[in-house]
Structure 1
Amino acid sequence: MTTPTETALARRWRLEINMGTAEAPSWALCPGVTEFQWTAEPNIEDSTSYDTDGWTENTKTAQAWEVSTTFNRKHTPDDTAYSPVHEKIRTAFFAYGDDSKVHLRFMDRNGLPEAYEGKALVNWAPSGGEYTALDQVEATFTGTGPLTPITNPIAP
């Protein structure tokens, strides 16, 4: 194995949305992504007792995850429809119950092993701007349930 010497780029992330069902997933690229960040913060509680001889002990009791992304809105050349993926995200924002959850996965677009999958609630925030600005949306996906490491589906 060679020693890694190259620095990974932030644009390595690829976001996909399940346009199908849980039983028959149909993964589609979220087009136009210009920014992408994710976090998975653990909840750590102090579990120190007298038995630790003054050393602190901690226990991980929960974990929350979130994906924040900005993307350029994409539409058909005749201005009759937006990207179906963008529309799935937008309509989930206005929905309740299971319809408010988006099944997503994200992975290293170069095929490196880092990849994750989960279900999330959506916050949809159009950026607005001056007359010269692009139509962008800031979408935040707040995990509901686990964020699961998966095998990168585009790995060689």
Structure 2
Amino acid sequence: MSTPTEETELAREWRLEINMGTDEAPDWQLCPGVREFQPASEPNIEDASDYDSDGWASNEKTAQAWELSVTIRRKANKDTKIYSPVHEAIRLAHFAYGSSNKVHLRYMNRNGLPEAYMGRAIPNWQPAGGEYTALGEVEITFTGDGPLTPITNPLA
């Protein structure tokens, strides 16, 4: 009987997709050019200690927030003068208000492993700038609006 081979996961395991359709007819499209990807999900923990615990502290999770920091490398079609439609949807949402300011996104392990999540977020679009030799990059922080829900990996 052979022993299964285990491999170390790489940071580039993540795939980010944006819903370019509607809730009723989703159109999930790849966000191309991802260079850095940093998900975060922080619980709010409150002290729930009382005299009855013999001096041991108690804690309760009372809320949760999530955020996704992504750096993308932008590319443009110089002939047609267009950027990636996904990049443009994120950029324009940054300048909008209300429901137009929310991006419906999902991210998952690109190798089909079980880790995958979906939620709505407000994007903060910040071009990185740099020296004359630098490539065009944008730092995007997606601040969660509502739950980040574990989902079945669509690539599984």
Same topology, TM > 0.5: yes
1:22 deviates by 1.2
Q: Unpaired segments of 5 or more residues in structure 2?
A: none
- Deviating beyond 6 angstroms after TM superposition, the runs of 4 or more aligned structure 1 residues are none
TM-score after normalising by structure 1: 0.95
Q: How does 1:3-152 map to 2 (within 5 A)?
A: 5-152=6-153
Contact 1:31/1:74 (<8 A) preserved: no
Tell me the alpha carbon deviations over residues 72-126 of structure 1, each in whole angstroms, 9 at most, x when there is no partner.
1122241510100000000000000000000000000000000000000010000
Report how many aligned residue pairs link the two structures: 155
CA RMSD of aligned residues (A): 1.4
Tell me the alpha carbon deviations over residues 23-50 of structure 1, each in whole angstroms, 9 at most, x when there is no partner.
1110000000000000000000000011
Q: Unpaired segments of 5 or more residues in structure 1?
A: none
1:6 deviates by 1.2
TM-score after normalising by structure 2: 0.95
Amino acid in structure 1 at the alignment position of 2:138: V
Amino acid in structure 1 at the alignment position of 2:92: T
1:63 deviates by 0.3
1:5 deviates by 2.4
Whole-Å separation in 2 of the counterparts to 1:74 and 1:24: 28
Counting aligned pairs with the same residue, the percent is 69
Whole-Å separation in 1 of the counterparts to 2:150 and 2:75: 29
Contact 1:68/1:141 (<8 A) preserved: yes
Larger CA deviation: 113-122 vs 75-84: 75-84
1:147 deviates by 0.1
